[in-house]
Structure 1
Amino acid sequence: MRHIRNGDLLGHITDTWLTEASDALTGLSAQAPEDRSEFIKGNGQIWSGVKAAMAQLSHQKCWYSEKRIAVTELEVDHFRPKNRVSGSALPHKGYWWLAFEWRNFRLAYSLINKRRTDSREQNVQGKGSLFPLIDEATRVPDTAAAPTDGERPTLIDPCLSADVQLLDYAVEDGKLVERFTSHQHQLKNCRAKKSIELFHLNEGTLIRDRHDLYVAIRHSVRRVEELEAEREANGILTPKQEDDYDQLINQIGQQINAAAPFSSFARACLKQIGDLGWNTHLLTTA
């Protein structure tokens, strides 16, 4: 997961869209509670209207998993669920007043946005309409539009740098893990663990794709180190070796660049091998 500066979305949102979203909220507010869900469903063009712009912010990648897929297959997730909240202490019909609020939009791979059974893990994962809070007593009621500043979500928000820092990688396994153990910081560990589960971040195909990337990077690193040893032993590389070296560095640089799929995982792979000089420099410049 990489930090997404969702405030940059404003540069892509037109005045026409903002007016349409505002008018939709006015219309929604006039609906009876039992009619709100149908009204929201009938105005899905509002959030789908900014999906392409959201994809530009993440280089066509899911904001949670960094998986790159066609924009048509990405979905706009309402970080705070718009129609209902599952698992809340009291029945909650959702944060309906945020249904058309761009600050509540996140871009998600469908396996993350929907509750599904993972055939590999044999359990149900995915965010769906779940939105756990650290303190359920602070949940804003669904009776009227209200600020949510007093809530502290359990789930990690890719739009907050401090939240993204709660995740780490077991690179050899291709998995996301909690950065902090429960002994180091119980709350941070709990938030990361719950986010990995509900966002389905260790879904089978994601693990496979990350592991394949790990293998590719390790192969490139070994070849770079062989060439570095050649340079050390002989004081110079042949023109062909210099060309190979540059191509390897360029390839790794592309893999850790923010535009690449799973780039934060790729950076973790390169960092894990320790300070070899060239890799540390690459991590600070790519």
Structure 2
Amino acid sequence: MIFIDRQEVISKLPEGWQAKAKTVTDALLAADGLAARKKIIGENEELWRSIKGVLAKVGHQKCWYCEASEVRSDNAVDHFRPKGRVSGEVHDGYWWLAFDVKNYRFACTFCNSRRHGDGGTTGGKADHFPLAAGSLRADGPLVPISVEIPLLLDPCDYVDTTAVWFDETGQVKVNPAVEAVEENVSLRVSISRTLYHLDHVRLIEARKRVFLEVLQMCDRADEALAAYKTTQNSTARNLFHESINALKRMKKEDSPYSAVAKCAVRGYRGSSPSAKLIAEAS
């Protein structure tokens, strides 16, 4: 999971989009009853679909939840807080946020919809939006969503994005650094792993490949560095620099599973001078 800046999304919206969204939202607020609101939402779905390309571009064409691009097929505009209903709750959904761009997340099929995956896994956010025990839930536009303590990790919250860690097997773990300062982190990572279907076999395999590729590149850089120190050979020096450049590219947010690459580098920095160099670089 990489951090997505909502302000960047807003800055890229087409001219007039926000005015249209406000007009529809005003109609929703004035609507008489659930049926009328559903009709308005249904008639204006194209409004959020029209900015799918903007959301994709800001997220480097990757799912905001899992970083998958081609591995997990179609992508959609997910309403982080469900617009129609909340699973397991007597709640009409966060209908007043249906056309609020800050509530949109670019999501792959397996993160957004309930799906069965390889190996017997099942996941998909759908209309789930669990809250921490004792948390209030906003049930209308007069109650600010700030009263809520969500259990789902949010890619638009930087602290949330740092909570997820990955190991050499491609599995999702809890970042111990975040666990030390934030309550409910283990629970939130566990619930997010399930609802975003982060344990989908193909996704795990893709993360594992990236993790191992990073370790191999670190080893290659270390070997080249050692050879250069011994021989002062320019070929070894160039190989070291090329390997470091490759590692830097793998950490860039537009690279496949860049969060995994960052975890691999950080986890290897105690053993590898090259990993230490890249981990500490800006």
Question: How high is the TM-score relative to the length of structure 1?
Answer: 0.88
Range 211-220 or range 76-85, more displaced: 211-220
Residue identity opposite 2:189 in structure 1: A
**Which residue pairs with 1:206 in the alignment?**
203
| 1:130 alignment partner, SS class | coil
Q: 2:165 aligns with which of 144, 168, 174?
A: 168
Q: Note the C-alpha offset of 1:180.
A: 4.4
Quick one: distance in 2 between partners of 1:255 and 1:10? 27
What is the rounded CA distance, in whole Å, between the counterparts of 1:261 and 1:65 in structure 2?
Answer: 10
1:178 aligns with 2:174: yes
Equivalents in 2 of 1:20, 1:69: separation in Å? 32
Deviation at 1:174, TM superposition (A): 0.6
Pairing of 1:1-20 with structure 2 (within 5 A): 1-20=1-20
Q: CA RMSD, aligned part only?
A: 2.3
Which residue number in structure 2 is paired with residue 56 of structure 1? Answer: 57
Look up the SS of the partner of 1:168 in the other structure.
strand
> What's the offset of the Cα at 1:25?
1.3
Tell me by how many angstroms 1:93 deviates.
1.5
Q: How far off is 1:238 after superposition?
A: 3.9
Identity of aligned residues (%): 27
* Contact 1:126-1:200 at 8 Å conserved across structures: yes
Deviations 1:1-51 (A, max 9, x none): 111111222211244101110111122232531242343132111111222
- Aligned pairs for 1:26-37 (under 5 A) are 26-29=26-29, 30-37=31-38
Instruction: Give the 3-state SS of the residue equivalent to 2:147 in structure 1.
Output: coil
Where does 1:28-177 land on structure 2 (aligned, <5 Å)?
Answer: 28-29=28-29, 30-69=31-70, 73-88=74-89, 91-120=90-119, 122-135=120-133, 138-142=136-140, 146-170=143-167, 172-177=168-173
Instruction: Report the AA paired with residue 10 of structure 1.
Output: I
Partners of 2:162 and 2:238 lie apart in 1 by: 37
Residue 281 of structure 1, aligned match among 265, 271, 277 = 277
Q: TM-score, normalised by structure 2?
A: 0.89
Distance in 2 of aligned mates of 1:37 and 1:284: 51
Asked whether 1:250 is paired with 2:241, we answer: no
The one-letter code of the counterpart of 1:45 is E
**Mapped contact 1:177–1:196 kept (Cα < 8 A):** no
Report the CA distance shift for 1:137/1:273 in structure 2 as closer, same or farther (over 3 A). Answer: closer
| Shift in Å, 1:165 | 2.3
Q: Pick from 154, 170, 187: which aligns with 1:190?
A: 187
Please give the alpha-carbon distance, in whole angstroms, between the structure 1 residues aligned to 2:186 and 2:165.
11
* Change beyond 3 A, Cα 1:119–1:278: closer
How many residue pairs get matched? 277
Matched AA of 1:274: R
Q: 1:119: how far off?
A: 2.6
Does the Cα contact within 8 Å between 1:6 and 1:57 map onto a contact in 2? Answer: no
Unaligned runs of 5+ in 1: none
Name the CA shift for 1:36/1:145 in 2 (closer, same or farther; >3 Å).
farther
Contact 1:118-1:204 at 8 Å conserved across structures: yes
The 10-residue stretch of structure 1 (20-29 or 75-84) with the greater mean CA deviation from structure 2 = 20-29
Q: Which amino acid aligns with 1:44?
A: E
How far apart, in 1, do the equivalents of 2:116 and 2:40 lie? 30
Q: Report the residue type matching 1:245 in the other structure.
A: F
* 1:9 to 1:81, Cα distance in 2 relative to 1, 3 A: same
